[in-house]
Structure 1
């Protein structure tokens, strides 16, 4: 399949934005959009896909990410600096891990195990969450600078919420990998911002 297209790059960016929004929702409210969470976590487990949208299951599964991305790239001021920081941190962290073949192999092995678990229990089962959380904690969280998540300590101190936050960050890395595979680059975002805005609007009409 042809990966290097503005539409695919926009979908991958929406995946990053969706992961960031899910992290923010979990950290501040203790809960998050379940449809979006299932799509984002499902993207981690989709090792082989026929298309970029198939990674997320459907456009409906990426609606939260498309809406979040639209708010971040529309206008001259950043609408939510914290969300923008999460997105930028995920892209930067993916660049670091892409240079760590041993770590990538460890992540791949762990994801394969989680994929088998999800077929038995379902994507959002606590066993799957715990496994994917461990993958993040033992690999990506060891890289510096670490992604610092702000929120309500009452939620962040809970094991189940902390696991979900880590898994959503892992999903963000998955989307950042996809963004790079689709030809995404910082200079493209800077020079083709209006094109990406138009792509987001078009995709939201279809979602």
Structure 2
């Protein structure tokens, strides 16, 4: 069940990327929920990483639609998901990148004494962490959407910050035993866990 929460967090973050790339804006609470997860580096439980129930519900619904038998599969979301999981595998094997990542996230935590998580300066900082560390690990994830939106610097920064959030959830998902093969061979169990979560 905990790994399903992490996977819901991952899907929610890439869905926010997709929405932002098409519309040029995002719900502030949803954005905050995704970005806050980056900073919870020593949680007592997975619930500490995803305290926002509304964004978790959205993630669980995305699991149903992406992995369920009846769901409308979104090929673009799948592409983003596969890209993040590929980068996460490279990150997990790169001790130097992991060390730099921890150091840079600590810097952002200090910044939050003065700014909100959705402040432009914090978003710019999170975006630069993604560009400097994660993007360098492998093929870049190609984001499609409205060209007018994608040209705006703040939109670009929010997308990179959200991809960093997706990476956070991917790391957690793997730490909790999640494996790519589960998305093929254990789909029903993951969907059932999401459905159960939505009924609570």
TM-score bucket (shorter structure): over 0.9
* Map of 1:48 onto structure 2: 42
Kept after mapping to 2: 8 A contact 1:9/1:179: yes
Deviation for aligned residue 1:120: 1.9
Kept after mapping to 2: 8 A contact 1:133/1:163: yes
Any gaps of 5 or more consecutive residues in structure 2? none
**Which of residues 94, 99, 105 is equivalent to 1:100?**
94
TM-score (norm 2): 0.94
**Bigger shift: residues 197-206 or 75-84:** 75-84
Deviation for aligned residue 1:152: 1.0
Deviation for aligned residue 1:78: 5.8
TM-score (norm 1): 0.91
Q: 1:19 to 1:204 in 2, by over 3 A?
A: same
What are the residue-to-residue correspondences of 1:12-91 with 2, within 5 Å? 12-75=6-69, 79-91=73-85
Deviation for aligned residue 1:187: 2.4
Per-residue Cα deviation, 1:116-160 (whole angstroms, up to 9, x for no partner): 112321111111101111111111112221111111111111111
Per-residue Cα deviation, 1:165-206 (whole angstroms, up to 9, x for no partner): 000000010000001100001222322211111111111223
Kept after mapping to 2: 8 A contact 1:36/1:63: no
Once residues 117 and 205 of structure 1 are traced to their aligned partners in structure 2, the CA distance between those partners, rounded to angstroms, is 38
Once residues 145 and 51 of structure 1 are traced to their aligned partners in structure 2, the CA distance between those partners, rounded to angstroms, is 32
Aligned residues: 200
Any gaps of 5 or more consecutive residues in structure 1? 1-6
1:154 is aligned to 2:148? yes
